[in-house]
Structure 1
Amino acid sequence: MEDMDIEVENMPYSVTSGQIAFLGPQKHIVFSKTGGSNILCISFSASFYERSSKDSLFLHSQLFFNYHTDFFVAPFSNIEQMRVIFMERLEAFRIKDENLYVSAAHNAVERLILDAFLYIPNEEIKKDIKFDYLHYVNRFKILLQRDYKKEKKVAHYASELNITSRKLTEMTEYVLGKTAKSIIIEKVISEFKKTLAFTSYTISEISYDLGFSDEGNFSNFVKKHTGKNPSEMK
């Protein structure tokens, strides 16, 4: 309900008043200092929300697993209505009865999700229909967010998902149009670029943080996949 700045995975973003930002799991988030108390953060687990196949579709959709940016932003049509739903109404249920409060919270979150679905492109919603592929690819992205610094082989993530490397790549190619290997490489390169741009770390420090044994190996990796030396990307 007021403008704010937020940092997601070392990338700065601005969210204007009247917007809702949806962020998926395993994201490192830093909120800026704000002048007032009109910013509401709603955090919930999959186990809290997921009650049906419809709920699963929502949780694995572009809202929480956006493939173009670290988060998805949608406008909210009535700010005062949002205040009533998420502050006054939920507080009344919390005081009244715990079970009623949980049900009311689920319904309130679903209201936000449904409204935001109006702003997802139709072609992205069609992708979400092949839910089994979407489910595995999103789990792969969660694991990658957790392990990319130490694990860079497709076999590791396939093993964690109890599927073959070939099957994981088939799924990522269907959902994202890219191989699992290329997604891992892009993640490492992207994190390098963000860290280089938004921190004071040296290339040597970044290479160590990203799990490379020495700066030479890291430089070869970057050169192979970008055509540039790390020092040329500042």
Structure 2
Amino acid sequence: MNISERIDFITKNHIHVCRSSTLKSHFRDLTTLRRWPYFFVLFSTGNELLHCIENERVHVPLGHFLFVGPDRYHSFIDGQDGDFWVLYFDYGFYARTPNDAYFIQNNPLFFDLDKIYISKPAIDISEYVALQMEFLEKLITKIQTPLVIDIIHNAVQAILLRSTFLSQGLQNPEVQYNNIEDRKIANQFRELLHIHYQQEKKLDYYANALKTTPRRLNQAITNIYGRSAKQLVTEKIFEESKSLLAHSFLTIKEISYSMGFTEENNFSAFFTKHSGYSPKKYKNLQLNISAV
């Protein structure tokens, strides 16, 4: 995946709400497993909702939300009996402030790749949520004045805040919130890393882009995340490598080059160190899972 394909961090201020029955008018190839450049929130209002995530059919009960982030491979399933609501938006729409950017970048609903988050409101407010979706669907078709954008943003934020709180609570004791400048640097670093991780692995590049020093960059990242900037770069490359091995038709050699490794052996050593499996063995394991 090259930089131009990471439009989820390049596209700005895109949001849409529609019923599943009209989704085909917005997207082609709905049933193809792929990464979508949006954050998706699906809400089941008819029968049980089915969605495919990482080759797995996910069952979403009536009155529940399903959250899918832009780093996951997923697809829609044809032939479902019930209708459901689909809300999707890009990073630029939500990240209006440093706090918004931090919240969406680190939200487990979208970025905990070890889990799939399905959320039910604390009380039965299915009819209210459906009415809210219908209201947003109509509102989005109107002129996008600042007031209208505020209303839409606040409605999306309310859904995410409630669901994040219900899933595991809003406060993470490992995260530091007290330094606004550190958080600003951390947000900008994550945005740059999301786009440039394949070509740029050295901290000098990111420090120069942020008009700071590698030492100051690393200090800010450590203060916010409790891990070094280098560790975040490594984690990003590893997670993207796993996705390509599991879901792309690229050879291991092609994946190693796409991840910025000049030699396949170096990539193999890197991947084996962090996963415990060689790239070939990991790819075969994923193929066996998808064949089940």
Superposition TM-score, scaled by structure 2 size:
0.61
Aligned partner of 2:136 among 59, 67, 90: 90
For residues 148 and 31 of structure 1, the distance between their equivalents in structure 2, rounded to whole angstroms, comes to 25
In the other structure, the counterpart of 2:3 is: none
- When residues 60 and 167 of structure 1 are mapped into structure 2, their CA distance, relative to the original with a 3 A threshold, is same
Structure 1 unpaired stretches of 5+? none
Letter in 2 for 1:114: L
In the other structure, the counterpart of 1:38 is: 84
Residue deviations 1:185-220 (CA, integer Å, cap 9, x gap): 222122222322333432112112212223234335
- When residues 105 and 171 of structure 1 are mapped into structure 2, their CA distance, relative to the original with a 3 A threshold, is same
Q: SS at the partner of 1:140?
A: helix
Question: Cα RMSD (Å) of the superposition?
Answer: 3.6
Aligned partner of 1:108 among 149, 155, 158: 155
Q: SS at the partner of 2:200?
A: coil
Residues 148 and 187 in structure 1, CA contact (< 8 A), matched pair in contact too:
yes
The offset of 1:180, in angstroms, is: 1.0
In the other structure, the counterpart of 2:206 is: 157
Structure 2 unpaired stretches of 5+? 1-42, 284-292
Question: Residue 137 in 1 paired to residue 179 in 2?
Answer: no
Which segment drifts farther, 14-23 or 197-206? 14-23
Aligned partner of 1:169 among 207, 210, 218: 218
The offset of 1:110, in angstroms, is: 3.1
Q: SS at the partner of 1:193?
A: helix
For residues 185 and 232 of structure 1, the distance between their equivalents in structure 2, rounded to whole angstroms, comes to 21
Aligned partner of 2:106 among 65, 68, 74: 65
For residues 72 and 137 of structure 1, the distance between their equivalents in structure 2, rounded to whole angstroms, comes to 26
Q: SS at the partner of 1:40?
A: strand
Which structure features the higher share of helix residues? 1
For residues 11 and 168 of structure 1, the distance between their equivalents in structure 2, rounded to whole angstroms, comes to 38
Question: Residue 16 in 1 paired to residue 16 in 2?
Answer: no
Residues 101 and 187 in structure 2, CA contact (< 8 A), matched pair in contact too:
no
Aligned length, in residue pairs = 224
Question: Residue 208 in 1 paired to residue 257 in 2?
Answer: yes
- When residues 230 and 118 of structure 1 are mapped into structure 2, their CA distance, relative to the original with a 3 A threshold, is closer
Letter in 1 for 2:160: I
Residue deviations 1:17-55 (CA, integer Å, cap 9, x gap): 4124264xx7466432342541312315546773xxxx6
Superposition TM-score, scaled by structure 1 size:
0.73
Q: SS at the partner of 1:127?
A: coil
For residues 140 and 277 of structure 2, the distance between their equivalents in structure 1, rounded to whole angstroms, comes to 56
Residue deviations 1:114-136 (CA, integer Å, cap 9, x gap): 32342343542783523432332
Letter in 1 for 2:253: S
- When residues 226 and 165 of structure 1 are mapped into structure 2, their CA distance, relative to the original with a 3 A threshold, is farther
Question: Residue 219 in 1 paired to residue 274 in 2?
Answer: no
- When residues 114 and 170 of structure 1 are mapped into structure 2, their CA distance, relative to the original with a 3 A threshold, is same
Residues 20 and 73 in structure 1, CA contact (< 8 A), matched pair in contact too:
yes
How many percent identity over aligned positions? 24
Letter in 1 for 2:245: L
Question: Residue 124 in 1 paired to residue 172 in 2?
Answer: yes
Residues 107 and 164 in structure 2, CA contact (< 8 A), matched pair in contact too:
no
Residues 27 and 145 in structure 1, CA contact (< 8 A), matched pair in contact too:
no
